[in-house]
Amino acid sequence: MSVDRDKRVFALGVLLTAALTLSGCSSSIVDLPGANTTSDAAAHPREPDAFLPVHDLPPDRDEAVIPPDQRAKIEKELIAARDRQASAVASQPAAAANPAAK
């Protein structure tokens, strides 16, 4: 008797799994008739726009993001850091700079 019950439980589990799997392929609940019963709700578009509005750009800024004097200061600091790193690499022995060469 327990074998028949186990078969029924297994079959019910398979059917439930199949139903849940296939429900992902079904249409949205919003598209079902009678699901949107309020008349003041916005209409759901059937097809989305084909292309994104890539040409709708924000207006240009009136002022620079970084003032020119701060930009020059940052550029000088970056150039100095680059030069320090380049001189540190140049002063290292060739074997220490390339450990794969050993």
pLDDT tens per residue across span 13-62:
998 888 777 776 555 655 566 655 555 566 666 676 677 778 888 888 88
Dihedral sign of CA atoms 41, 42, 45, 48 in order? negative
pTM here is: 0.34
Between 12 and 64, the higher pLDDT residue: 12
Q: What percent of the chain has pLDDT over 90?
A: 24
CA–CA dist 49, 56 (Å, integer): 14
Identify the pLDDT of residue 4: 86
How far is residue 29 from each of residues 19, 25, 67, measured CA to CA in Å? 16, 12, 53
Identify the pLDDT of residue 67: 87
Output Rg (C-alpha) for the chain, integer angstroms: 34
